[in-house]
Structures are given as structure tokens and as C-alpha cells.
């Protein structure tokens, strides 16, 4: 189910003066889905309450010419847990998907995945956080109650069944949805996988429809790791390699491109 529930999103944004702050405010205030905007130049901080996805908010901020890095995500209730999966796979497929436990019954899943073929792609939580054989070692769909595969709205489904995300002509799938069975505290350490084809939600009549949704090969995956909530991420520089917050914005989370002289690529800060 798509989510229109507002959440609070904290960004670090390169700002040096009040005119910078005014431009950031102007880019956000009054936009459909944006409830409130707070800007602190001294802390280089922008706090937005919105029902828009993280990628959409970041694009609005960066339309002012300033780089923005996500620092934290929070709901209107107490902090019940948040996590992130940095996705990578064959053919340059990459992205970041964030999970925020809004309440005991609802989990927000907000993500962007690039490099996909246009059209629908199955998205699932898998049982294992094991990437030793890339996505092949992630195990089956997370299914603690031993049910048949189904769609997100079905009572008979794997807990890990998140349905399909849809990539546009540019190969990007941006999505923001809520799920009633995923619990952040149960899936940390497991993996998130996006598939090459459409999940038939168990209704396709194929031999594996009730097992996997017949959604093809596993294209990209990432381990679901605990992430920072609002105001919980003071990081400005990575102690392991001296990469600053702003340099990290343009580098992968790991691998050869992580070095200062390596090629630039999008990175997930959380």
C-alpha cells in the first residue's frame, strides 16, 4: 500500500548564509506533500515533515545547487526503529531502501533503485544476510509462519513479500509504501532483494507462483542494517578513510570506488 503518511526527514545541506537557507526553504515550502520546513544554517541542517519520498525531497533541495545528505528519518510517534539496505547487483543496478517502523502495526519502506529495466520488479525480504555468493546466498523469502507466497495485501503471504516496484523509462524505481507484516526489529541482519521480473503475487498459475511469484532472477540485494533516526547521526567524516560527509555523497558505500581517487557514484549515508 502506498504511503501518504507524513514523516520527518533530516538532511545535512551545504549552506553558508541565510540567502542559502532562503533558497532551500523556497524549494520546499508550498510543494504538494510538504507539511513543514525547518532550516538551521549553523548546523547545516534541514528538517522536513512530508509525505514525499526521500529521493524527491533530496532532488528539491539539490535543485538549489546545494548537495544534501540524508541524516535521519523519523515518524510522529516514538522511535521504534529504522534500517537501511544499500542495494547493489549486476549491470549497475544500485540503490538504497530505508525502513522505518511507524507503529507496532505499520512499517514504512522508502527507496530508490536505479539501473532496472522499465516495468515492474519483485521486491522481497529474504531470510539470510549472506552475500558470499552475491544474491544467490540470501536464502528464500523471509517466511517465519511457513505460508504460501502472496501479495502485500494478502493474509496468506510470506512476511517478506513486498509486491512490485515499477521502474520508469529511465530505469529508476522510486517508491514509498507501508506494510503491515514487516517489523524492523525482525528483519535487521536479513537481506532485501529486487528481481528481474514482475512478481505474479502467487496468482500466475506457474509452478513456482506460490513459492516465489515467478519474478525471475535476483538482480540486486543488500543487507538490512540498523540506521540512524532523527538527530542520531552526528557523522561529519569517516574515520576509516578520511572521507568527509560531502565527499561520501558522491562515492559508493564500499569497494574500489571508495578511495578518494576512485570514480564517483551515488552513496547512501545511513
Q: Which domains does the chain have, with CATH numbers?
A: 7-74 (3.30.70.100), 82-226 (2.60.40.200)
In sequence order, what are the residues at sequence separation of 6 or more whose Cβ sits closer than 8 angstroms to the Cβ of residue 106? 5, 178, 179, 180
Instruction: Give, in order, the Cα–Cα distances in Å from 41 to each of 9, 23, 151, 239.
Output: 16, 12, 45, 25
- What was the pLDDT predicted at 73? 87
Whether this prediction's pTM lies above 0.85 is answered by no
Q: Which DSSP helix (H) or strand (E) runs through 225?
A: strand 218-226
What are the pLDDT digits (tens) for 22-55?
999 999 999 999 999 999 999 999 999 999 999 9
**For the chain, how many residues are written?**
270
Local confidence band at 233 (pLDDT 50, 70, 90 cut-offs): low
DSSP code of 260?
T
- What was the pLDDT predicted at 257? 47
What are the pLDDT digits (tens) for 96-115?
999 999 999 999 999 999 99
Local confidence band at 91 (pLDDT 50, 70, 90 cut-offs): confident
* Rounded Cα distance, 235 and 250, in Å: 16
Amino acid at each position: 500500500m502506498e504511503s501518504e503518511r507524513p514523516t520527518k526527514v533530516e538532511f545535512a545541506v551545504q549552506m553558508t548564509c541565510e540567502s542559502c537557507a532562503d533558497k532551500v526553504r523556497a524549494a520546499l515550502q508550498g510543494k504538494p506533500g510538504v507539511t513543514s520546513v525547518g532550516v538551521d544554517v549553523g548546523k547545516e541542517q534541514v528538517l522536513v515533515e512530508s509525505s514525499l519520498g526521500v529521493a524527491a525531497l533530496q532532488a528539491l533541495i539539490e535543485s538549489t545547487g546545494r548537495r544534501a545528505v540524508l541524516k535521519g528519518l523519523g515518524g510522529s510517534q516514538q522511535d521504534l526503529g529504522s534500517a537501511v539496505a544499500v542495494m547493489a547487483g549486476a549491470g549497475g543496478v544500485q540503490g538504497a531502501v530505508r525502513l522505518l517502523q511507524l507503529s507496532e502495526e505499520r512499517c514504512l519502506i522508502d527507496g530508490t533503485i536505479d539501473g532496472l529495466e522499465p516495468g515492474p520488479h519483485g521486491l522481497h525480504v529474504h531470510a539470510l544476510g549472506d552475500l558470499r555468493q552475491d544474491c544467490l546466498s540470501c536464502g528464500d523469502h523471509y517466511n517465519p509462519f511457513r505460508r504460501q507466497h502472496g501479495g502485500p495485501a494478502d493474509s496468506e503471504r510470506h512476511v517478506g513479500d513486498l509486491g512490485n516496484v515499477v521502474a520508469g523509462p529511465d530505469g529508476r524505481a522510486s517508491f514509498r509504501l507501508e506494510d503491515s507484516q514487516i517489523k524492523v526489529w525482525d528483519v535487521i541482519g536479513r537481506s532485501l532483494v529486487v528481481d528481474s521480473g514482475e512478481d505474479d503475487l502467487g496468482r500466475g498459475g506457474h509452478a513456482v507462483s506460490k513459492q516465489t511469484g515467478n519474478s525471475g532472477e535476483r538482480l540486486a540485494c543488500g543487507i538490512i542494517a540498523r540506521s540512524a533516526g532523527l538527530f542520531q547521526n552526528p557523522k561529519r567524516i569517516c574515520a576509516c578513510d578520511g572521507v568527509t560527509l560531502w565527499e561520501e555523497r558522491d562515492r559508493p558505500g564500499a569497494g574500489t570506488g571508495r578511495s578518494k581517487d576512485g570514480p564517483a557514484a551515488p552513496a547512501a549515508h545511513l
